[in-house]
Structure 1
Amino acid sequence: MSTYKNLKSLVVRLRDDLNNPTKPTALVLIYAYNRTGKTRLSMEFKDAGKRKNRKNPTGTPDTLYFNAFTEDLFVWENDLEGDSIRRLQLNQKSSFFNAMTELALDETIAHYLSRYADFDFDFTYKEVLRGKDTISIPDFVSFRKGDESNIKVSRGEQNIFIWCIFMAICERMLDGHDSYQGKKYIYIDDPISSLDDNNAISIACDLAKLLRRAATRKNADAAPAPIKVIFSSHHALFFNVMCNEVGRKIDDAPSVDHRRYFLYRPSGDGSYELRATEDTPFFHHVATLAELQRAADPRKGKLYTFHFNALRSVMEKTASFFGHPNIAFCMKAMDNEVDRALFNRAVNLLSHGAYAIHEPTEMGEDNKELFRRILREFIERFDFALPAIVPARATASAPAIHGDPKP
């Protein structure tokens, strides 16, 4: 486990991982909660790659990236007056679209999109003056389905479409297209917002295939020329599928050399900790339990009403893991019938309020004590092995637990 005082020092570590002269790695997988700073980390990594220095005297950008900023390059024009011409406008100031005309991406985008959705698309281009040259750049994209044209797609479908554009661009980059000469890294942060689990698995498998190709890439002389990749996500299922897909052998091809990390912020001072997860991906609900245990510390923790929502979510995942439809299974494991009834009523009632994470309300003292009792009983009964992100000082109300979840 390593601690970094800011994002800049963390980026130095990640770049060192990818370029270690004795044992370089082609791929880094990072699991982190939402609000940890994954997007800001991806931007700091990108910015570090275009700073002028001895290795990069011209400040040429070395990273192709995908994150929330990429999705923001697409904005809906909903034709509020005519209510008929709906289209997705592309931000023409972004260099992201510079090479789209010459790349001829439509066919590759359509290939990927057909795997996840059932609508079609059409790009409309326009001529613009760049320096002394007139070039054609994409202006907007419209969507159609069957006999319907100019349709409005859902936010999930929109995100899938944008992701397919990025995948198509990655394909050209790995092909060695002139537009991407000098790019050494791909940084991908949370590409699956608003997706159902089925599409999440499909996209993870396709992405893993692409990253295998990046890691084993060779140049025209058949010498190794990998494109190094960092991938980060808060989505436990997506992260685990990625780990499994890049870690297994396929036919005669070896598994991809990679590292797995859990990234978190141990306090509010702006520092970051990076924990190697070795062979086992970091399961979201187990890590959440560790965070809840920290929050339940009566000396240094602080419990908010939304923590009941988080606890209920963990219980639902635990019940599902053991093949049961709801958290009643977890409640049956509690000590006695009186506690079971009380705990069940508390979790069901207090986890359904309008508790905003961005405007948190601290629990009352009675609810704090009740929360600590429920958490302690739950962890003890299911014998969770919590990650080493909770300080060695075990709280009196929520002791440290050892051992994996058992039936």
Structure 2
Amino acid sequence: MNRVIIYFMGLSLTGIAEQLKNNNKKVQLIYAFNGVGKTRLSREFKELVNPKHSEEEDNSPIKFLYYNAFTEDLFVWDNDLDGDENRKIIIQPNNFTNLAFGFLKEQGQDGNIANHFKHYTHSSITPKINDDFSEVTFSILRGGDDSINNIKISKGEESNFVWCIFYSLIEQIVEVLNIADANDRSTNDFDHLEYIFIDDPVTSLDENHLIELAVDLAQLIKNSKSEVKFIITTHNPLFYNVLYNELDLKNGYMLELQDDNTYKLTEKKGDSNKCFSYHLFLIQTIKKAIDSNNVQKYHFILLRNLYEKTANFLGYPKWSELLPDDKKLYYNRIIQFTSHSTLSNEIVAEPTEPEKQTVKFLLNHLINNKYYKESSK
């Protein structure tokens, strides 16, 4: 039977941060609604691990890195209102931007920022960072005279660009720290790093890229062999759910703001979907795609997720046991679209019309028979 355990009640955000630090876990995944205090929690946690007074010391070691709304605030648009031509993002210099760009350039990996940006947006937009890392311009490169320079990108694309800077940074840090002997590392700047705190990097991604980002982030965390610990907060149920499953976590948390303005952190064990009504969320998402005839590959991922969570909650050892009579046929069809090798590339073709009908049939099968009715009790 699933258990819900209330650990911390009536605490300040500082108290919640202290409890998270005392947990001493490799990964802690936290769900919270917007406005509850995820960003403030990241700041409180930073003060515990790396207070401002120590941060200001020139030779103080790097113990803490975080991504949150403050990270995005370091990137400000200059829209060239007079000429309306030279639009660019001005990068506000601080410890993070100096560290990120300097380290990536030193490692010869600064080009990864543009690669990640284009990967997650599937966009022809190419960012260009100037040599002293003070500004960024964006262009659509089409060859010849058809290229469009100095365009202004959307707020969502901008957020994704900033995330790609941070992701490129921690990707290289993980690789460096995976070298056990500090004397063999290309840099010792991160030898004392204790925590990486990530707050909602997915505010503007579509579901397909959101799943892809979650899978990639989970794989990066699993690749980390050092003592660095990760705390991830999000308001997005799908992002939470993909991370929870990809990381094979045994528990997650839900952060809540109470009526007296104190905070409660609830530990969720067992079926994370049941805790956050993910069954309903996934069903609504798949139904919407079916109704608009817009079923894509990632909807097979969501369908499989729904079957897995329902089977787990009901105690079935294999989710395939919930499939209709010709279980092997339907199992193979779902596996074709959801194997890990196809989560983040284009190896498998887009679903055909009969395959889209398979999604509808399997969803209705789960909803209309005893399995889902049992799990909804």
Same fold (TM over 0.5): yes
Deviation string, structure 1 residues 6-60 (Cα, Å, up to 9, x no partner): 0111111101112xxxxxx21000011111111100110011112399xxx9975
Query: For the Cα contact (< 8 Å) 1:7–1:41, is it kept in 2?
Result: yes
CA distance in 2, matches of 1:280, 1:322: 22
Question: Is 1:16 aligned to residue 22 of structure 2?
Answer: yes
Of 156-165 and 109-118, more deviation after overlay is shown by 109-118
Residue 190 (1) aligns with residue 196 (2): no
* CA positional deviation for 1:282: 4.7
Query: Structure 1: how far apart are the matches of 2:116 and 2:11?
Result: 40
RMSD of aligned C-alpha atoms? 3.1
Q: Quote the offset at 1:153 in angstroms.
A: 1.1
1:261 corresponds to 2:256: no
Q: Residue 142 of structure 1 corresponds to which residue in structure 2?
A: 137
C-alpha displacement of 1:102: 4.1
Secondary structure at the counterpart of residue 272 of structure 2: coil
TM-score relative to the length of structure 1 = 0.60
- Matched with 1:213 is 223
| Structure 1 pair 170–149 and aligned structure 2 pair: CA distance change class (3 A) | same
Is residue 62–residue 182 contact of structure 1 (8 Å, CA) maintained in 2?
A: yes
Distance 2:45 2:103 in 1: 28
Query: SS at the partner of 1:193?
Result: coil
SS in 1 for 2:46: helix
Larger radius of gyration: 1
Which amino acid letter does the alignment assign opposite residue 198 of structure 1? Answer: N
Q: TM-score, normalised by structure 2?
A: 0.64
What's the counterpart of residue 200 of structure 1?
210
Paired amino acid for 1:212: K
Q: Supply the distance in 2 between the matched residues of 1:52 and 1:78 (Cα, whole angstroms).
A: 33
CA offset at residue 101 of structure 1?
A: 2.7
Higher RCO (C-alpha 8 Å, min separation 6): 2
Instruction: Say whether the 8 Å CA contact 1:31–1:282 is kept in structure 2.
Output: no
Q: Where does residue 342 of structure 1 map in the other structure?
A: none
More helix by share: 2
Query: Partners in 2 of 1:206 and 1:100 — Cα distance?
Result: 21
Q: Does the Cα contact within 8 Å between 1:4 and 1:10 map onto a contact in 2?
A: no
Label 1:264 to 1:99 Cα distance change in 2 as closer, same or farther (>3 A). closer
Whichever residue aligns with residue 144 of structure 1, its letter is: S
Aligned to 2:228: 227
State how 1:2-401 maps to structure 2 within 5 Å: 2=7, 3-18=9-24, 25-51=25-51, 60-104=61-105, 105-117=109-121, 118=123, 119-126=125-132, 138-146=133-141, 147-174=147-174, 175-176=176-177, 177-214=187-224, 217=225, 225-247=226-248, 259-267=251-259, 269-282=260-273, 286=277, 325=291
**Post-superposition offset of 1:114:** 3.0
The answer for unaligned runs of 5 or more in structure 2 is 1-5, 142-146, 178-186, 293-366, 368-372
Aligned residue pair count: 268
Specify the code of the residue in structure 1 equivalent to 2:199: D
Alpha-carbon distance change, 316 to 182 in structure 1, aligned in 2, over 3 angstroms: closer
Counterpart Cα distance in 2 of 1:163 and 1:51: 24
Q: Is the 8 A contact 1:99 1:179 kept in 2?
A: no
